[in-house]
Amino acid sequence: MLGAVLAGSGHAAEPDPPPNIVVVMVDDLGWQDVAVPLGPDVTEFNRRYRTPNLERLARRGVVFTDAYAASPVCTPTRAAFMTGRHPARSGITYWTLRADRDTSTAHPRLRRPDWRLEGLAEGDVTLPGLLQASGYRTVHIGKAHFGAIGTSGADPTRLGFETNIAGHAAGGPGSFYGIHDFAAQKRQGRTGASVWDVPGLEAHHGKDVYLTEVLAEEAVQQIRQAGTDDRPFFLHFAPYAVHAPIVQSYNNHYYNHHDLG
């Protein structure tokens, strides 16, 4: 009936503008690791945490308590989200690092399945690729871990992202701290490069900053820049936390010297 009325009036309905999309992909976060209960009851673990922003978001939106990751490890879950394909379909069933080396653990009696050691690759149909083709500005910030070292999938800009900040092949950071240059060797008091070193954040090297906060600031800057663009944006924000490494001594130093509100 509405269509008939609009047609009769001679005025076409204005289409809604495409929405901006922000996805926060948190690594190794358990279902009880925030204050928001994700089960039928509030648990003792829920009571340990203070996550007011998540609680505010939950009140304003919808909380799913029966949704599941495609896999209990990094790359398969991320590849599933990027492609809409289950690990059994994509062939990516374990976390990637080197395309010529199987990272999965051998079983004493069962044969490990053949799986796609290189991870995602340029040419795979991905969500950011589809959105970019539809006129979206696509931004990845943080942990990528889509493809192995030296492959096209290690670079998010070859998977549909227009902008990549701090994403590469490795699944964990060398360090969470700017005083270590986010690098593994420097965290351990040595010199030299490592595959775990977070790239692209040289402006923050040597500073008393925390990786998650640095990435959040980069995300805010990207959203502000998107406000000057006439395109909608898709932001895939993937902090490396709460993944290892755990550096307790400097954690204490950091939290004793910063007012985190």
The parent domain of residue 170 ranges over: 18-103+111-257
Residue 62 near residue 111 (C-beta atoms within 8 A)? no
Distance CA 141, CA 198 (A): 11
Q: For residue 167, tell me if it sits in a domain.
A: yes
> Which DSSP helix (H) or strand (E) runs through 22?
strand 21-24
The count of domains in the chain is: 1
* 253 is an active site residue: no
User: Which among 156, 133, 136 is positioned nearest to 146, based on CA atoms?
Assistant: 156
* 243 is an active site residue: no
Instruction: Report the CATH number at residue 220.
Output: 3.40.720.10
pLDDT at position 10 is 53
- With residues binned 3-state (H G I as helix, E B as strand, rest as coil), the percentages for the chain, rounded to 5, are 35, 10, 60
Distance CA 75, CA 125 (A): 16
Both tokens of 128, joined, read 């950011």
Across 34-44, average pLDDT = 93
pLDDT tens per residue, range 184-242: 999 999 999 999 999 999 999 999 999 999 999 999 999 999 989 999 999 999 999 99
Q: For residue 83, tell me if it sits in a domain.
A: yes
Q: For residue 247, tell me if it sits in a domain.
A: yes
Q: For residue 207, tell me if it sits in a domain.
A: yes
Q: For residue 10, tell me if it sits in a domain.
A: no
Count Cβ neighbours within 10 Å for each residue of 19-54 and write b for 16 or more, e otherwise. Answer: eeeeeebbbeeebbbbbbbbeeeeeeebeeeeeeee
Q: For residue 228, tell me if it sits in a domain.
A: yes
- The residue annotated as part of the active site, out of 11, 86, 140, 145, is 145
Query: Is 241 exposed, middle or buried (CB count within 10 Å of its CB: 0-12, 13-18, 19+)?
Result: middle
More confident residue, 172 or 6: 172
Residues 6 or more apart whose CB falls under 8 angstroms from that of 135 comprise 18, 231, 232
pLDDT tens per residue, range 218-228: 999 999 999 89
Both tokens of 39, joined, read 């089960």
Q: For residue 2, tell me if it sits in a domain.
A: no
Q: For residue 209, tell me if it sits in a domain.
A: yes
Looking at residue 228, the DSSP 8-state letter turns out to be: T
pLDDT tens per residue, range 126-185: 999 999 999 999 999 999 999 999 999 999 999 999 999 999 999 999 999 999 999 999
Helix (H, G, I), strand (E, B) or coil at 103: coil
pLDDT tens per residue, range 124-137: 999 999 999 999 99
pLDDT at position 237 is 98
